[in-house]
């Protein structure tokens, strides 16, 4: 026991422990890959069992050191090249490494998924995996035992170093396994390392020793590149985390449906599924895109604007009101006195007709309370109001209380499924030819984006929500007929005005978009 008081023995113990951990990392990584094939409740037990077996195999090989020495004696010759027991072990171990690493790489590169609920999945038995780990332990233990013999002079020191190293690896196995499983590129890199080690073992079995420095330099360089890759992925995920989950999901689905021109904000998982869009028809894409964009929109983008609101002036005579009702195919009307902002209530057209025939004027009890909402409210919020409160109409007002528009459930449906023109309306969007459209100036920009199959026209920071507002904002003035604007890869030409409002604009796709 004199070695307990020998400082060189303790230095050998520390040095050998560190080297045993370094030499055991590749074994630990391969154990993590093999145990990943087992059901989740068996994986941790397999890793612990595998590392424990590695410890006992190395101790057993140390205790049979005299037998290990005989493994270097030639057993037979092939073309005058001697082969020893050690060479055979190295050749078999290297071949096994090449086979397992190649099959694992093929499985992952071919995209074969492991799902426990898949009826076709063949799950290896627990002891089958343990047997593979033991074979690898024997191969990897050769270097470990040779290192131990070369550094330490006392068997207890060698055994203690191996036990301490395995205990530390048992403590490290869970975080290392979690890291390997969470980063798929690391698995590929580790399998490539095992290929290199397999080739090195086979070469060594033929007495052609590849300098370990070359292997370590290649592995070190690859680890450095993978480190930069992981840093880049971490920063990308950190940036993605700043974007709300709903927006990221909507962007991924919209790009898949053809509603986005680029996938810059998509995660790698989402980008991997957006290549084939043929599974969705054009009408399906438009409708799903309409649903996903509802959360981004306020009612300014779907409401009937103030200038187009049809309302009943209760100050007019009965005959004038009756003629107005006969010419308009609506069921509900805002009832005002003198002007639109002097709102008295909402009434059904047939109730107004009854009042005018019986009493010659609209009766107060015919009017229902007008349901008013701010114009900045979101579409999803107004949908909740339609579901929770009675009434087929909501009037949108600005911060000063002036009426700015009118919203009905049909407006919400049109935002999803497209335009439903009334009997007295014409289509707001007309395709003249390939890449040329005539669009009403009051058309909301979301509909314009869907029609032009582009994005970037909607700007949530601006007050406008229609094509009319976009052209005026970009021109900086009220346009005149014939005036043009080139923006975002399109030419906007004003072809019809209604006072100070653009009634119709002609939009033509051009070659070079204006960023």
Q: What is the 3-state secondary structure (H, E, C) of 26-88?
A: HHHHHHHHHHCCCCHHHHHHHHHHHHHHHHHHHHHHHHCHHHHHHCCCEEEEECCEEEEHHHH
Same domain for 49 and 173: yes
To the nearest 10°, report the CA torsion of 285, 286, 289, 290.
-150
What pLDDT, on the 0 to 100 scale, is given for residue 38? 76
The pair of structure tokens assigned to 171 is: 């403590």
228 in a structural domain: no
Task: Look up the domain containing 250 and give its range.
Answer: 246-265+281-292
Same domain for 195 and 104: yes
Q: What is the pTM of this model?
A: 0.47
> What is the b/e burial string over 431-468, where b = at least 16 CB atoms within 10 angstroms of the residue's CB?
eeeeeebbbbbbbbbbbbbbbbebbeebeeeeebbbbb
493 in a structural domain: yes
Give me the CATH number covering residue 320.
3.10.580.10
Q: Phi-psi region for residue 360, left (φ > 0), alpha (ψ -120 to 50) or beta?
A: left
Q: What values do phi and psi take at 24, rounded to 5? A: -90, -5
Cα–Cα distance, 466 to 440 (Å, whole number) = 9
Same domain for 489 and 348: no
Q: How far is CA 266 from CA 41, 239, 417, in A?
A: 34, 11, 26
Count other C-beta atoms under 10 Å from residue 491's C-beta.
15
What pLDDT, on the 0 to 100 scale, is given for residue 130? 76
> What is the b/e burial string over 23-55, where b = at least 16 CB atoms within 10 angstroms of the residue's CB?
bbebbbbbbbbbbbbbeeebbeebbebbbebbb
353 in a structural domain: yes
Same domain for 384 and 320: yes
What pLDDT, on the 0 to 100 scale, is given for residue 506? 92
What pLDDT, on the 0 to 100 scale, is given for residue 351? 92
Residue 313: helix, strand or coil by DSSP? strand
Cα–Cα distance, 400 to 378 (Å, whole number) = 19
286 in a structural domain: yes
233 in a structural domain: no
Decide: 394 and 382 in contact? Cβ < 8 Å. yes
Same domain for 111 and 30: yes
Give the gyration radius of the chain's Cα atoms. 38
Q: What is the pLDDT tens value at each position of the chain, 515 positions in all? A: 554 555 666 676 666 666 566 556 666 666 777 777 777 777 778 778 877 777 787 777 767 655 655 566 777 777 777 878 777 777 877 787 788 778 877 877 776 544 444 444 455 677 777 777 777 666 666 555 555 554 455 667 777 777 877 787 777 777 777 776 677 777 777 777 778 877 887 887 787 877 767 777 877 788 788 888 878 877 877 776 666 666 666 666 666 655 554 444 455 545 544 444 445 566 666 777 777 777 778 888 888 888 888 999 998 999 999 999 888 888 889 999 999 999 999 999 999 999 999 988 899 888 988 888 898 888 888 888 888 887 788 899 988 889 999 998 888 888 887 777 665 556 678 888 888 999 888 888 888 887 887 877 877 667 778 888 889 988 888 889 999 988 888 999 999 898 888 889 999 988 654 44
Same domain for 377 and 343: yes
Give me the CATH number covering residue 505.
3.30.465.10
Q: What values do phi and psi take at 257, rounded to 5? A: -85, 0
Cα–Cα distance, 61 to 158 (Å, whole number) = 11
Angle at 207 between CA 63 and CA 76, to 5 degrees: 75
| DSSP per-residue string spanning 394-448 | EEEE-TTS-EEEEE-HHHHHHHHH-----TT---SEEEEETTEEEEETTSBHHHH
Same domain for 89 and 34: yes
216 in a structural domain: no
Same domain for 412 and 449: no
Q: Phi-psi region for residue 499, left (φ > 0), alpha (ψ -120 to 50) or beta?
A: left
How many domains is the chain partitioned into structurally? 4
505 in a structural domain: yes
Domain boundary among 387, 417, 447: 417
Cβ burial, residue 393 (10 Å; 0-12/13-18/19+): buried
Same domain for 33 and 169: yes
Same domain for 195 and 179: yes
Same domain for 285 and 168: no
Same domain for 396 and 485: no
Count other C-beta atoms under 10 Å from residue 361's C-beta.
15
71 in a structural domain: yes
Q: Where are the beta strands (DSSP E) in 295-418?
A: 304-305, 312-313, 332-337, 339-348, 372-374, 394-397, 403-407
Bridge-partner residues for 496, per DSSP?
504
């Amino acid at each position: 026991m004199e070695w307990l008081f020998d400082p060189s023995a303790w230095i050998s113990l520390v040095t050998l422990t560190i080297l045993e951990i370094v030499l055991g990392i590749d074994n630990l990584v391969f154990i993590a890959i093999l145990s990943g094939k087992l059901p989740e409740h068996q994986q941790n037990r397999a890793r612990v069992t595998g590392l424990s077996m590695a410890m006992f195999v190395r101790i057993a090989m140390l205790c049979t050191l005299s037998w290990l020495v005989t493994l270097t004696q030639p057993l037979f010759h092939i073309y005058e090249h001697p082969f020893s027991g050690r060479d055979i072990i190295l050749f078999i171990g290297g071949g096994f490494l090449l086979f397992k690493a190649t099959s694992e790489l093929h499985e992952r590169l071919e995209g074969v998924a492991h799902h426990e609920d898949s009826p076709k999945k063949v799950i290896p038995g627990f002891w089958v995996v343990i047997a593979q780990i033991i074979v690898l332990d024997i191969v990897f233990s050769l270097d470990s035992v040779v290192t131990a013999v070369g550094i330490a002079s006392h068997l207890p020191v060698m055994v203690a170093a191996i036990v301490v190293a395995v205990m530390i690896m048992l403590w490290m196995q869970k975080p290392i396994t979690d890291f390997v499983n969470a980063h798929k590129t690391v698995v590929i890199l580790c399998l490539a390392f095992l290929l290199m080690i397999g080739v090195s073992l086979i070469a060594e079995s033929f007495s052609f020793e590849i300098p370990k420095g070359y292997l370590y330099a290649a592995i070190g360089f690859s680890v450095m590149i993978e480190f930069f890759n992981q840093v880049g992925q971490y920063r990308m995920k950190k940036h993605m985390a700043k974007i709300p989950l709903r927006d990221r999901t909507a962007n991924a689905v919209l790009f898949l449906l053809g509603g986005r021109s680029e996938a810059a904000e998509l995660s790698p998982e989402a980008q991997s599924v957006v290549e084939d869009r043929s599974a969705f028809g054009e009408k399906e894409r438009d409708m799903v895109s309409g649903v996903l964009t509802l959360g981004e929109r306020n009612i300014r983008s779907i409401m009937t604007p103030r200038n187009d609101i049809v309302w009943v002036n209760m100050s007019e005579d009965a005959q004038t009101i009756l003629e107005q009702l006969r010419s308009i195919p609506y069921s509900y009307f805002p009832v005002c006195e003198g002007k639109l902002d002097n709102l008295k209530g909402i009434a059904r057209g047939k109730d107004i007709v009854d009042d005018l025939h019986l009493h010659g004027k609209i009766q107060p009890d015919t009017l229902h309370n007008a349901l008013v909402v701010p114009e900045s409210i979101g579409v999803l919020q107004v949908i909740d109001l339609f579901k929770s409160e009675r009434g087929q109409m909501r009037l949108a007002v600005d911060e000063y209380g002036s009426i700015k528009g009118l919203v009905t459930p049909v407006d919400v449906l049109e935002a999803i499924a497209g335009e439903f023109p009334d009997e007295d309306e014409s289509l707001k969007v007309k395709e003249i030819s390939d890449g040329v459209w005539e669009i009403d100036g009051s058309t909301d920009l979301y509909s314009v984006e869907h029609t032009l199959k582009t994005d970037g026209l909607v700007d949530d920071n601006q007050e406008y929500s229609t094509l009319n507002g976009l052209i005026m904002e970009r021109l900086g003035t009220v346009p005149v007929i014939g005036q043009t604007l080139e923006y975002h890869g399109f030419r906007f030409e004003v072809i019809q005005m209604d006072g100070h409002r653009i009634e119709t604009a002609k939009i033509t796709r051009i070659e070079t978009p204006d960023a």
